[in-house]
A and B are shown apart, each in its own frame.
Chain A
Amino acid sequence: MFVALLILAALAAPLIAPADPIRQSLRGRLSAPTFAGADGKAHLLGTDHLGRDVLSRVIYGARVSLLVGFAAVIVGGLLGASLGLLAGFRGGWADSMIMTLADAQLAFPFILLAIGIIAVLGPSLPTLIVVIGLSGWVTYARVLRSQVLVLRSREFVDAIHALGGSVLRVIARHVLPNVLSSLVVIATLELARAIVLEATLSFLGLGVQPPTPSWGGMVQEGREYLDSAWWISTAPGIVLMLTSIVVSRTGDWLRDLLDPTLRGE
Chain B
Amino acid sequence: MALALVGQSAPTFFIGILLILIVSLNLGLLPTSGREGWQSLVLPALTLGAFAMASIARLTRSAVLEVLRADYIRTARAKGVTEALVVVKHTLKNAAVPIVTITGLQFGTLLGGAVVTETVFAWPGIGRLAIQSIYNRDYPVVQCTVFISAVLFIVINFCVDLIYGLLDPRVRAG
Which residues does A use to contact B, with CB under 8 Å?
A: 107-112, 115-116, 119, 192, 196, 199-200, 203-204, 216, 219-220, 222-223, 226-227, 230, 233-234, 237, 240-241, 244-245, 248-249, 265
Contact = CB atoms under 8 A, between A and B. Distances in A.
Given A112-B149, A200-B13, A219-B13, A226 B21 contact: yes
Nearest to A111: B112
A223 B25 contact: no
A219 B11 CA distance: 11
B9 A241 contact: yes
Interface string B109-131: 10111011001100000000011
A220 B130 CA distance: 19
B20 interface: yes
A119 B135 contact: yes
Interface in B117-174: 119-120, 130-131, 134-135, 137, 142, 146, 149-150, 153
28 contacts: A108-B108, A108-B150, A109-B115, A109-B149, A111-B112, A112-B130, A115-B130, A116-B134, A116-B142, A192-B9, A196-B11, A200-B116, A204-B131, A216-B11, A216-B13, A219-B13, A219-B14, A219-B17, A222-B17, A226-B17, A226-B32, A233-B21, A234-B18, A237-B14, A240-B11, A241-B9, A244-B11, A248-B8
B46 interface: no
B45 interface: no
A201 to B, nearest CB: 10
A227 B25 contact: yes
A159 B21 CA distance: 64
B153 to A, nearest CB: 7
Interface string B70-110: 00000000000000000000000000000000000000110
Contacts of A107: 108, 150, 153
A223 B17 CA distance: 7
A233 B17 contact: yes
Interface of B: 5-6, 8-14, 17-18, 20-21, 25, 32, 62, 108-109, 111-113, 115-116, 119-120, 130-131, 134-135, 137, 142, 146, 149-150, 153
Given A219-B13, A245-B5, A111 B108 contact: no
A224 to B, nearest CB: 11
A119 B142 CA distance: 12
Contacts of B18: 234, 237
A244 B112 CA distance: 19
Contacts of A111: 112-113, 115-116
Contact of A240 (B14, B21, B112): B14
A115 B137 CA distance: 12
Contacts of B149: 109, 112
Given A204-B116, A248-B9, 9 more contacts: A192-B9, A200-B13, A203-B116, A203-B119, A216-B11, A223-B17, A227-B25, A233-B21, A234-B18
Nearest to A243: B9
